[in-house]
Amino acid sequence: MSLSPTGRRGAAAASTAALLFTLAACGGDGGDKDAAAPKTELTVLAASSLTDVFATAEAAYEKEHPGTKLTFSFAGSQELAAQVRQGAPADALVTADTRTMDGLEPETGTPTVIAKNRLVIVTGEGNPEKVEGLPDLADPSLKVVLAAPEVPVGRYAKQILDARGIEVKPVSQEPNVRAVLSKIELGEADAGLVYRTDATVAADQVDAVGIPDAQNAIASYPAATLKSSEHAEAAAAFVSWLSSPEAQKILQDAGFQKP
């Protein structure tokens, strides 16, 4: 049966309407996907000793803030400071000492200490050399590895050894605390000084020998936004979150101390 001109116009109109509806629906789906995609990507420069705990923090923060994607760059605090001074694109900074952060005052917002840490002596699993305390590190037959003195953990190590008049001749001086830990894990050294949290991460491969509080040093971890950030508001929100109860629980569960 053929359609009249009026009928044909009606059918064409119906087909056009259906096509427009389909296109609109497709466009709506794309818009929803775009809305769900991360809107802001923050780059956070962070001390090596925060590597594992910040993986947990990242998941928690992104779940709570679906519009933000975190990207971390880990290194020794002195390396991070050099990157900031060289203008590396980043939004926030977390160091393992206040001294490094204070030296970057022109480049950062006001820092906030988010956690503290202490040092331990780390040895091979089972402590085969029977290291019992700091004086043992002076034994010339013991292969001791330390972080370089310009690295926060290296500076803390020098501080506590010098305070007791203990002279240690390390077989190597490493650029960050994880490099020290790696030397012990690989059996390339007998003992080293690292943060307590790093020893905890590698507890199945190394042993930790505690250092009495009176002989120890307290490491403070300040966090701050970077003035060069292109996402100042989002960066400030992340730095502020690090002091929240949720973030503090994550840090303390990992062995960090309250700020």
pLDDT band at 7 (very low <50, low <70, confident <90, very high): very low
Mean pLDDT of 208-215: 97
Which pair of structure tokens corresponds to residue 118?
A: 């202490």
Mean pLDDT of 212-217: 96
Contact 259, 116 (CB under 8 A): yes
Q: In the predicted model, is pLDDT for residue 96 greater than 80?
A: yes
Fold of 118-215: D-Maltodextrin-Binding Protein; domain 2 (3.40.190)
Mean pLDDT of 202-207: 96
Q: In the predicted model, is pLDDT for residue 245 greater than 60?
A: yes
Output the CA–CA distances (angstroms, integers) from residue 142 to 29, 125, 257, in the order listed.
65, 15, 31
Summarised one tens digit per residue, pLDDT across range 132-167 is 999 999 999 999 999 999 999 999 999 999 999 999
Summarised one tens digit per residue, pLDDT across range 109-124 is 999 999 999 999 999 9
Q: Same topology for domains 40-116+220-253 and 118-215, yes or no? A: yes
C-alpha of 100 from chain center: 16
What CATH superfamily classification does 40-116+220-253 receive?
A: Periplasmic binding protein-like II (3.40.190.10)
Give the predicted TM-score (pTM) of the model.
0.83
Mean pLDDT of 35-41: 71
pLDDT band at 38 (very low <50, low <70, confident <90, very high): low
Provide the residue ranges of all domains of the chain, joining segments of one domain with +: 40-116+220-253, 118-215
- Encode 212-242: b = buried (16+ Cβ within 10 Å), e = exposed: eeeebbebbbbbbbbeebebeebbbbbbebb
pLDDT band at 99 (very low <50, low <70, confident <90, very high): very high
Contact 242, 222 (CB under 8 A): no
- pLDDT of amino acid 36: 56
- pLDDT of amino acid 101: 98
Output the CA–CA distances (angstroms, integers) from residue 233 to 24, 226, 241, in the order listed.
34, 11, 12
Work out the mean pLDDT of the chain and round it to a whole number: 89
Contact 78, 96 (CB under 8 A): no
- pLDDT of amino acid 79: 97
* The dihedral sign for the CA sequence 82, 56, 254, 204: negative
pLDDT band at 92 (very low <50, low <70, confident <90, very high): very high
Of 6-15, 124-133, 238-247, the poorest mean pLDDT is in 6-15
Q: Is 164 exposed, middle or buried (0-12, 13-18, 19+ CB in 10 A)?
A: exposed
Of 14 and 130, the one with more pLDDT: 130
